[in-house]
Amino acid sequence: MATISFARGVPAPECLAVEELADCARVALERDGHTILSYGSPSGYAPLREWIAEQHGVEPERVFITNGSLQGFVFLSQHLAAHKRVLVERPTYDRPLKILRELGYEVELLPCDDEGLDPDALEQILRDGFPPAFLYLIPTFQNPSGRTLSLERRRRIVELAREHGLLVYEDDPYGLVRYEGEPLPSLFDLSGGEVIYGSSFSKTVAPGLRVGWFVFPKALAREVEATATATYITPVLLGQATVNEFLRRGSFEPNLQRVNGFLGARRDAMLAALDEYLPGIRTTRPQGGYFLWLELGGVDSSVLLARAEEAGVTFVKGTDFGGAPDTARLAFSFVSLDEIRDGVARLAAALPVSV
């Protein structure tokens, strides 16, 4: 029996527009090969920087493109490490947690509920403590919880940041991966561009192209650029030029709609299966993104995981994200509709106690 993976937060193969992207790569190379195949700016491929700058209403000098947004997160964290203290949501994306700890940061996890980060807790920390280097936030369809920070809290957090001179990094790879409801303004927009904004084409085009971007304040852009130069001279321009061609020929929107339709159907299937097989379990019901967050009512998710793997299904324990022992992340982005139903049935059968 093959294991069904609710652990993999990656797009299913059907999401990847392979032929179209192959054509984009070929066209980009034929048109601009001498630039793409050489060393260039540490901040990325100029035509793509310009496109992103226009989307955000900023000068291209503020846009910094990296080999995936996680690489940019490393650059930023390395650059700010002198302050040694960082605030994050509890739970939060596990890779930044590891990166921050490896860089020697003292990581402070702030409480969240269904509306996202609790601004009162943030205010308390800012009043009481040693000033942190920055706040790392994933406000929309958060990894791992799928939660979205409410508009009121977005406003409050932006105000608090301004009042206390707190640097905020808004990580937003899922903002456009919305298959229901209306988008909320980003913290970047609400702050008039003071918040650092980061996103990626990993969820909207293809993760293997490794194209992520940041909008920094100008001075910070120059400083982080120096770290990038010292690390790899130039990011991979072929991936960026391929994305640029994909955008300029008008393929981005139709592809996004196709991907969002695919993901929405998977979210529906997972919620329906959970309602059917695990009606006592509390879960988030996101309008976009890749993930659901389960609260297992006192059941230790490490015990459940061991039993679930024997039953042929896997997921990620909430503690990997700094969450409580009785929480779990289920990804529905990679699995088929049939696998979702079967996997949830296996999970229900593996539960050590009835809930």
Ligand X SMILES: Cc1ncc(COP(=O)(O)O)c(C=O)c1O
Chain contacts with ligand X (rule: CB under 6 A)? 9, 68-70, 93, 138, 143, 171, 173, 200, 202, 207, 212
Nearer to ligand X, 209 or 348 (CB): 209
Contact 315, 308 (CB under 8 A): yes
Question: Could you tell me if 266 and 146 are in contact, meaning their C-beta atoms sit under 8 angstroms apart?
Answer: no
CB of 97 to ligand X, least distance (A): 11
Nearest position to ligand X, beta carbon = 68
Nearest approach, Cβ of residue 157 and ligand X (Å): 17
Reference 216, options 105, 84, 76; nearest CA is: 76
Calculate helix-pair angle for 337-350, 252-277, nearest 10 degrees: 30
In the complex, minimum distance from the CB of residue 101 to ligand X, in angstroms, rounded to a whole number: 17
| Closer of 122 and 137 to ligand X (Cβ) | 137
- Shortest gap between Cβ of 11 and ligand X (angstroms)? 10
- Least separation in angstroms between residue 355's CB and ligand X is 28
CA nearest to 204, candidates 290, 100, 91: 290
CB of 107 to ligand X, least distance (A): 16
Closest CA to 198 of 213, 218, 183, 188: 213
Closest C-alpha to 238, from 52, 31, 75? 31
Which is closer to ligand X, CB of 9 or CB of 116?
9
Q: Which residue has the tokens 């996680």?
A: 70
Residue number, 70 or 187, with CB nearest to ligand X = 70
Query: For residues 221 and 44, what is the distance between their CA atoms, to the nearest angstrom?
Result: 12
* Position 234, amino acid: T
Residue placing its CB nearer to ligand X in the complex, 242 or 348: 242
> What letters, b where the CB count within 10 A reaches 16 and e where it falls short, cover 299-321?
bebebbbeebeebbbbbbbbbbb
CB 350, min distance to ligand X, A: 26
**Cβ 117 to ligand X shortest distance, Å:** 14
9/288 with CB nearer ligand X: 9
Q: Which is nearer to ligand X, 9 or 318 (CB)?
A: 9
Angle at which helix 252-277 crosses helix 237-248, to 10 degrees, equals: 100
C-beta of 241 vs 348, nearer to ligand X: 241
Residue with Cβ nearer ligand X (68 or 318): 68
- With beta carbons less than 8 A apart as the criterion, state whether 177 and 290 touch: yes
DSSP-derived secondary structure letter, 294? E
Cβ contact 293:328 at 8 Å: yes
- Residue pair 196/137 in contact (Cβ under 8 Å)? The answer is no
User: CB of 140: closest distance to ligand X in angstroms?
Assistant: 10
Residue 282 tokens read as: 């509390």
Judge whether 158 and 187 are in contact, CB under 8 Å. Answer: yes
